[in-house]
Chain A
Amino acid sequence: MRNAYMTDELEAIYEQTVDFVAKEVTPHGDAWEEAGKVPREVLQQMGELGMFGLRVPKEHGGLGLGMLASATFSEALGASTFAGFDVTVLVHTDMAGPHLINSGNDAQLAEWVPKMLAGEAIFSIGVSEPDAGSDVAGMRTAAVKDGDGWRINGRKIYITNAVYGDLTIVAARTDLENKYGITMFLVPAGTEGFSVANKLDKHGWRCSDTAELILDDVWVSDEQVLGTVHRGFYETMKNFQNERMVLVGMGIGAAQAAIDMTNAYTQERKAFGGHLFDLGAIRQRMAMNQAKVDAVRASMYHAAWMHDAGQDNVKAMSGVKAWGCEVVNQVMYDCVQFHGGMGYMRESAIERMYRDARILPIGGGATEVMLEEVAKRSYA
């Protein structure tokens, strides 16, 4: 057993995912980074193997598992070392998908869940805007009632999976009197007025497609409202802890891979009459990195377990997100350092992993926002 929270089911998820990424992702990832895209075929293959249904209730064709399953899945994806791939999958399964599962009505679930499970439709979540990232209250995209539907105008930015994806869950302000009066809409790609303004050019996560979206007089029907009108902000919040956690999970999976490859490299690399790993400065720093990663991993699984046990885990998960993502970056920094000049070369995996890690303390709730979540729950 990998840790105290593991069950046979979770072990199976870990093995399945690690095996899959080792065979089908890592050998091809460099080409995907170059292309700026994860091929749809590999996502459909994952769909066929049932890898998108961990959190989908059994009655809708999934496995109906809890947050520990997402922790396990995300950590195992991280072993791919291609975080752009990991986030493509996790936005679909753990950031956008859950909103449909949590708030969708019968007709919406019947239409979209089978496509989501099969990887026929890839999902994205459209919340962030140029003036509204972690602070959702600054959202300017607005929807006004228009006949049997709504007319949406605005812009969205940094939307993962929205260049090549099929369905964006768009958040728009519907109650101008209330800063939290937001409604979620299901907006399929190709809807008139809904377009990609830019495919964004990023520091890392190069194989993940990221869009700036324009909603120009987009009309959607009442049937495309996801959940309750004006209640979208609160409904979105239901998935915040999961979204935060899977970013930590994929980061920890990658950090462990980075430690393993750096230990192997420094144990092979000859210098000063021995191997690099024989130097106390290196072996002790790597040992400390391992200890930190172990601690973050344990904290993450514990916070996931709290959720599955019905406990409030906002403080715990926010802390894990803040600290864990910083740790992943510290580990990547050291791993580049101990790869020497090779670590600075674009051909080395560690150079890419270092770039990929940088977004983790920014996306899905910046470290500073996460620490506030902890701090405001820390008054005696």
Chain B
Amino acid sequence: MKILCCVKRVPAPGAKINVTADGQDVDAAHLGFTMSPHEECAVEGAVQLIEEHGGEVTVLTLGTGDAEEQLRYAVSVGATHGVLVEADTIQWDPQRTAQAITAAVQELEGDEPFDLIMFGNESADAGGFQVGIRIAMALGRPIVQGIKGVEIGDDTIIARREIDGGFEVYELPSPAVLGIKEGLNLPRYPTMKGRLASKKVELNSITASAAEGGQVRVKLHRPEETVSETVILGMGAEAAAAVVDVLDELGVL
């Protein structure tokens, strides 16, 4: 089977995020980057599917040349091919991003569609929840978001979405599109050999072309840091009385 995973280069979690002076972008000078955690699970899920059923996983990202780092990482954990849809910046609006990726997917597919396209449920930085849905609509394919389980049926994709106390199970005709949530699996580490191989793989490059979508960023704002205070009430059983006092004060007893 042929699977496409679309990933996004985002600042590494836990980093201190600063905003550029014009308020239009994240100051990347001292940041490490990664792919969104949802997408890391999507790549792992795709690799597991081809390990079980055979086939190829292509990983695609839209952005500048820096995003090759995320494509090579995906290859190091088992993806077969990497495609960079080259844009002048990663921060295109969702409509424009979706248009460009749709065009790239159509170019890659030709007459042979991917059996499954996987996105992260939402990107870890912008959190727009839009790109995957827009692309599925443009390609005329079914999509389900929030997926934490994927299986391959007879010409179908079976996807599970977590709900309170259980799962909703969807059966989609292939080709289909899924928005994957973190928790689908525990992404593997690259092996040393995988890392070495990822440095040698030839990445495919497609020039992104799409008109601006209309969504305009006004300004990024970094909220003031909130200072919190931790009070140690005691250690072990001795702390119990003080904890009860606090709970009493809060009115929860």
Residues on A facing B (Cβ under 8 Å): 8-9, 11-13, 15-16, 19-20, 23, 45, 48-51, 53-54, 63
Contact = CB atoms under 8 A, between A and B. Distances in A.
Nearest to B34: A19
Name A's interface SS. helix
Given A9-B199, A49-B189, A51-B192, 17 more contacts: A8-B196, A9-B196, A12-B192, A12-B195, A12-B196, A12-B198, A13-B192, A13-B195, A15-B195, A20-B189, A45-B189, A48-B191, A49-B191, A50-B193, A63-B192, A63-B193, A63-B196
Q: Give the residue among A12, A13, A15, A53 with the most B Cβ atoms within 10 A.
A: A12
Contacts of A45: 189
Contacts of B195: 12-13, 15-16
Interface of B: 76, 189-193, 195-196, 198-200
The 5 closest A-B pairs by CB, nearest first: A8-B199, A50-B192, A12-B195, A16-B195, A50-B191
Name B's interface SS. helix
A71 B66 CA distance: 26
Contact of A8 (B190, B193, B200): B200
B191 A12 contact: no
A20 B76 CA distance: 14
Contacts of A11: 199
A50 B196 CA distance: 11
Q: Give the residue among B189, B192, B193 with the most A Cβ atoms within 10 A.
A: B192
A60 B41 CA distance: 33
A148 B199 CA distance: 51
A23 B37 CA distance: 14
Q: Give the residue among A9, A16, A45 with the most B Cβ atoms within 10 A.
A: A16
25 contacts: A8-B196, A8-B199, A9-B199, A12-B76, A12-B192, A12-B195, A12-B196, A13-B192, A13-B196, A15-B195, A16-B76, A16-B192, A16-B195, A19-B189, A20-B189, A23-B189, A45-B189, A49-B190, A49-B191, A49-B192, A50-B191, A50-B193, A53-B192, A63-B193, A63-B196
B200 A16 contact: no
A132 B149 CA distance: 61
A15 to B, nearest CB: 7
Contacts, number: 38
Contacts of A8: 196, 199-200
Nearest to B189: A49
B114 to A, nearest CB: 28
A349 to B, nearest CB: 16
A16 B194 CA distance: 10
A50 B197 CA distance: 13
Nearest to B198: A12
B191 to A, nearest CB: 5
Contacts of A49: 189-192
Nearest to B69: A15
Nearest to B14: A22
Nearest to A7: B199
Nearest to A23: B189
Nearest to A53: B192
Contacts of A13: 192, 195-196
A11 B193 CA distance: 13
A154 to B, nearest CB: 38
Nearest to A9: B196
Contacts of B193: 50, 63
A19 B72 CA distance: 14
Nearest to A63: B192
Contacts of B192: 12-13, 16, 49-51, 53-54, 63
Contacts of A51: 192
B14 to A, nearest CB: 10
Contacts of A63: 192-193, 196
Contacts of B198: 12
Nearest to B188: A49
Contacts of B189: 19-20, 23, 45, 49
A63 B192 CA distance: 9
Contacts of A16: 76, 190, 192, 195
A23 B190 CA distance: 13
Contacts of B76: 12, 16
A311 to B, nearest CB: 26
Contacts of A53: 192
A63 to B, nearest CB: 7
A81 to B, nearest CB: 16
Contacts of A9: 196, 199
A12 B76 CA distance: 10
A9 B189 CA distance: 17
Contacts of B190: 16, 49
Contacts of B200: 8
A15 B193 CA distance: 12
B242 to A, nearest CB: 22
A298 B33 CA distance: 26
Q: Give the residue among A19, A20, A63 with the most B Cβ atoms within 10 A.
A: A19
B146 to A, nearest CB: 26
A13 B192 CA distance: 7
Contacts of B196: 8-9, 12-13, 63
B35 to A, nearest CB: 13
A267 to B, nearest CB: 11
A300 B187 CA distance: 35
B32 to A, nearest CB: 9
